Structure 1
Amino acid sequence: MDASRRRARHEEESVDGAGNTSVRRTKNGLSAAQPTVFGSHVGLFSAPDEGLPRRDLAVLFLSPWGMEEMCTRKLYRILSEHFAALGVASLRFDYPGAANAFDAQEDGQGPVTSGPVVSGPVTSGPVASGLAGWISTIGEAIAELQALSGSHQIVLLGQGLGGSLAYLRAPMETELAALMLLGPVLKGRNYLRELSLWSKMIDEPMHIKAELRDTSPGAIAGLRMPETVATDLKSLDLSTAPPLDPSLGTALDPALPVFLGQRPGNHGDIAFGEILRKSCGRLTTVDFTGYDQLVSGPLSQVMPDAFIETVLSFVKALPQFHSLAGQVARPAMIRPITYRHSRETPVRFGDGDRFYGTLCEPVGASIGVTAVILSTSYDHQAGWAGSSAEMARRLAAIGVSSLRYDAAGVGDSPPIPGRRKQILYDDAQLADVAAACDFLQTLGLTDRTLIVGRCSGAYIALRAAIADPRWNGLVAVNPDSLLWRFKGLPRTLTAYSTELLKRETIRRVLAGDVDIAAVTRNIAVRLIDRAAKSASRFVKAAVPITRLSGRVHSEFLELQARSTRVVLVYAEGDEGLERFHAHFGTRAEKLAAYGNVAFHMIPDADHNLTPLPARERLFAIVESTARELAVNRAI
Structure 2
Amino acid sequence: MRPIVFDQTIGWLHPAQGERGVVIAGAHGFEDLCSRRFLTLIARRLAQNGMPVLQFDYPGCGDAPGDHTAPGQVAGWINGIAGAIDRLKSETGVEDVLVVGFRLGALLAPAAIAGRGDIAGLALLAPPASGKAYMRETTGLSRMVDAALPAYAGATAEPFDGVVAAGFRLSAETVAALRVLEWQGHLADRPDIDLLLMPPQVAEGHSQLAEGIRTAGGKAELVALDGFARLMSSPTANDIPLSAIDVVAQWAARLSKPSDRMLNPVDATPPFLDGEGYREHPVVIEPAPEICGVLCTPIDALPGAPVALILNAGAIPHIGWARGAVEMARTLARRGIASMRVDLPGLGQSDTPSEKRLFLYDERASGDVVRILDWLEQRGYGQACAMGICAGAHQAFHAARRDPRISHLGMINPLCFSWNSSYALDMGLSKIRDNARGPLVAEAPPAKDGATADGNASASPLKSVLKLGKPILRGSVEFAKSVLSRLSGEGAMTRRPVEGWMKSITGRGTQVLVVSCEDDLSLQEIARHFGPDGERLRRMKGVTMMLVPAADHTLTPVHARDMLTGQLISMLSGAPAMPASAGAKTQRPSGVFADGR
Following superposition, the deviation at residue 590 of structure 1 comes to 2.3
Of residues 523, 526, 535, the one that matches 1:577 is 523
Following superposition, the deviation at residue 82 of structure 1 comes to 1.3
1:429-508 correspondence to structure 2 within 5 Å: 429-446=365-382, 448-487=383-422, 489-491=424-426
Following superposition, the deviation at residue 276 of structure 1 comes to 4.4
1:420-435 correspondence to structure 2 within 5 Å: 420=357, 422-435=358-371
Q: 1:267 and 1:606, CA in 2 relative to 1: closer, same or farther beyond 3 A?
A: farther
Q: 1:191 and 1:549, CA in 2 relative to 1: closer, same or farther beyond 3 A?
A: same
Over residues 307-327 of structure 1, what are the superposed CA-to-partner deviations in whole Å (9 max), with x where a residue is unaligned? 222212212222xx2454867
1:522 and 1:400 map into 2 onto residues whose CA distance is 37
Structure 2 SS opposite 1:224: strand
Structure 2 SS opposite 1:359: strand
Partner of 2:464: none
* AA of the residue aligned to 1:310: V
Q: 1:522 and 1:232, CA in 2 relative to 1: closer, same or farther beyond 3 A?
A: closer
Structure 2 SS opposite 1:609: coil
Bigger mean CA deviation after superposition, 363-372 or 561-570? 363-372
Contact 1:452–1:458 (8 Å) recurs in 2: yes
1:391-406 correspondence to structure 2 within 5 Å: 391-406=328-343
Following superposition, the deviation at residue 595 of structure 1 comes to 2.1
Over residues 67-86 of structure 1, what are the superposed CA-to-partner deviations in whole Å (9 max), with x where a residue is unaligned? 22112211121112211221
Structure 1 SS opposite 2:169: coil
Query: Alignment RMSD, CA only?
Result: 3.3
Matched, 1:627 2:565: no
1:107 and 1:80 map into 2 onto residues whose CA distance is 29
Partner of 1:292: 229
Bigger mean CA deviation after superposition, 288-297 or 426-435? 288-297
Partner of 2:62: 99
Following superposition, the deviation at residue 521 of structure 1 comes to 13
1:210 and 1:276 map into 2 onto residues whose CA distance is 50
Contact 1:156–1:179 (8 Å) recurs in 2: yes
Task: Calculate the TM-score normalised by the size of structure 2.
Answer: 0.82
Bigger mean CA deviation after superposition, 296-305 or 391-400? 296-305
Following superposition, the deviation at residue 478 of structure 1 comes to 0.6
1:279 and 1:372 map into 2 onto residues whose CA distance is 54
* AA of the residue aligned to 2:333: A
1:500 and 1:304 map into 2 onto residues whose CA distance is 14
Structure 2 SS opposite 1:427: coil
1:190-229 correspondence to structure 2 within 5 Å: 190-203=133-146, 208-209=149-150, 217-229=162-174
2:291 and 2:434 map into 1 onto residues whose CA distance is 39
Structure 1 SS opposite 2:181: coil
Q: How many residue pairs align between the two structures?
A: 534
Following superposition, the deviation at residue 481 of structure 1 comes to 2.4
1:451 and 1:503 map into 2 onto residues whose CA distance is 36
Matched, 1:178 2:121: yes
Q: 1:82 and 1:591, CA in 2 relative to 1: closer, same or farther beyond 3 A?
A: closer
Contact 2:236–2:314 (8 Å) recurs in 1: yes
Over residues 334-371 of structure 1, what are the superposed CA-to-partner deviations in whole Å (9 max), with x where a residue is unaligned? 42211111110101114347101000000123333211
Following superposition, the deviation at residue 288 of structure 1 comes to 1.7
Partner of 1:410: 347
Contact 1:57–1:151 (8 Å) recurs in 2: yes
* AA of the residue aligned to 2:313: T
Structure 1 SS opposite 2:393: helix
Partner of 1:509: none
Q: 1:528 and 1:174, CA in 2 relative to 1: closer, same or farther beyond 3 A?
A: closer
Matched, 1:356 2:286: no
Q: 1:451 and 1:252, CA in 2 relative to 1: closer, same or farther beyond 3 A?
A: same
Partner of 1:89: 52
Partner of 2:532: 586
Structure 1 SS opposite 2:574: helix
Partner of 1:247: none
Partner of 2:447: none
Over residues 447-506 of structure 1, what are the superposed CA-to-partner deviations in whole Å (9 max), with x where a residue is unaligned? x4211111000111111112211111111001012222344543399x79x9799799xx
Contact 1:365–1:399 (8 Å) recurs in 2: yes
* AA of the residue aligned to 2:33: M
Q: 1:191 and 1:270, CA in 2 relative to 1: closer, same or farther beyond 3 A?
A: farther
Following superposition, the deviation at residue 237 of structure 1 comes to 2.2
2:223 and 2:95 map into 1 onto residues whose CA distance is 27
Contact 1:373–1:388 (8 Å) recurs in 2: yes
Over residues 503-532 of structure 1, what are the superposed CA-to-partner deviations in whole Å (9 max), with x where a residue is unaligned? 99xxxxxxxxxxxxxx99996763463x79
1:594 and 1:287 map into 2 onto residues whose CA distance is 56
Matched, 1:559 2:505: yes
* AA of the residue aligned to 1:46: H
Following superposition, the deviation at residue 285 of structure 1 comes to 1.6
Structure 2 SS opposite 1:587: helix
Partner of 1:47: 15
Matched, 1:141 2:78: no
* AA of the residue aligned to 1:587: D
2:374 and 2:436 map into 1 onto residues whose CA distance is 49
Following superposition, the deviation at residue 272 of structure 1 comes to 4.5
Partner of 1:152: 95
1:269-308 correspondence to structure 2 within 5 Å: 269-270=206-207, 272-273=209-210, 276=213, 279=216, 281-308=218-245
Contact 1:150–1:327 (8 Å) recurs in 2: no
Following superposition, the deviation at residue 45 of structure 1 comes to 0.7
Structure 2 SS opposite 1:190: helix
Contact 1:149–1:325 (8 Å) recurs in 2: no
1:503-542 correspondence to structure 2 within 5 Å: 526-527=482-483, 529=485
2:484 and 2:51 map into 1 onto residues whose CA distance is 54
* AA of the residue aligned to 1:526: S
* AA of the residue aligned to 1:38: F
1:629 and 1:468 map into 2 onto residues whose CA distance is 25
Following superposition, the deviation at residue 414 of structure 1 comes to 1.4
Contact 1:183–1:269 (8 Å) recurs in 2: no
Matched, 1:549 2:490: no
Following superposition, the deviation at residue 617 of structure 1 comes to 1.3
Partner of 1:232: 177
Structure 2 SS opposite 1:347: strand
Contact 1:367–1:630 (8 Å) recurs in 2: no
2:97 and 2:228 map into 1 onto residues whose CA distance is 25
Q: 1:503 and 1:594, CA in 2 relative to 1: closer, same or farther beyond 3 A?
A: closer
Query: Which runs of 5 or more structure 1 residues have no equivalent in the other structure?
Result: 1-32, 49-53, 109-128, 243-249, 505-518, 533-541
**Shift >6 Å, 4+ stretches:** 210-215, 498-504, 519-522
Following superposition, the deviation at residue 547 of structure 1 comes to 5.3
* AA of the residue aligned to 2:322: A
* AA of the residue aligned to 1:578: Q
Partner of 2:274: 338
